[in-house]
Amino acid sequence: MLSKTMNEISLHILDIVANSIVADAQHIAVHVQELSKTDRFIVSIRDDGRGIDPKILPAVADPFVSTKPTRRAGLGLSLLENACTSTGGKIEVQSDFRGTVVTAIFRHSHIDRLPLGDLASTIMALVASNPGLAITYRHEVNSDLFEFDVNQLSEWFPDLGYEALFTPVVLQWLRRYLEESIELLRRRAHAQTPSR
Ligand SMILES: Nc1ncnc2c1ncn2[C@@H]1O[C@H](COP(=O)(O)OP(=O)(O)OP(=O)(O)O)[C@@H](O)[C@H]1O
Ligand SMILES: [Mg+2]
């Protein structure tokens, strides 16, 4: 079953971002907050796409609500909502013609809270498959923060043309950079948490 394969939060992020891309977003901001102190694990995806049709917005997380021409079922938001509510959390969807914000709130410590998964590969895959899309990624673990903006790539590799930024060598480098940055963020946050 599909819900069994969506066993990492990073896969849900990929799926929710796909909605933003279909909605012609030019800018997508992924924000992850791991707040063990307040027992919240919050993921938000903000886009500047065309927004959710107001007619379907109130029931948008219903599995039978979709504007896809190919089939009547829309599972993305509904599976994410299930993943949140099974931990005692919820999703919030705000949308208008300026764009959409999907916020998924999980209880951090809940046994059913999915692991984050390989977010470095997820962000790299988003960058790789959407050249020209302004992607920003912000990750907080308690009070520690890591931020990445896809525009940084052209600052870091000024000698490469824009196209060359989306070739395997740079993308592999990016994945490792993101992996190491997330790892460092975790280690820093861990070092600051007093052991009980
Ligand atoms: N970011 C967004 N911008 C504009 N419309 C959106 C956005 N996210 C969702 N929608 C609308 O809500 C509907 C339901 O989204 P959902 O992800 O649950 O299902 P789907 O994308 O239709 O199908 P699936 O995710 O199963 O491929 C979409 O068909 C689309 O009309
Ligand atoms: Mg979808």
**Residue 188 alpha carbon to ligand 1 centre in Å:** 36
pTM (global) more than 0.85: yes
Return d(Cα 20, Cα 15) in angstroms, integer: 9
The residue-averaged pLDDT of 103-111 equals 98
Residue 25 · residue 48 · CB < 8 Å: yes
**Residue 107 alpha carbon to ligand 2 centre in Å:** 23
| Local confidence band at 195 (pLDDT 50, 70, 90 cut-offs) | low
CATH fold of 2-192, please?
Heat Shock Protein 90 (3.30.565)
Ligand 1 lined by 67 (C-beta under 6 Å): yes
* Pocket residue to mutate for ligand 1, from 60, 84, 103, most atoms within 8 A of Cβ: 60
pLDDT in tens, 112-153: 999 999 999 999 999 999 999 999 999 999 999 999 999 999
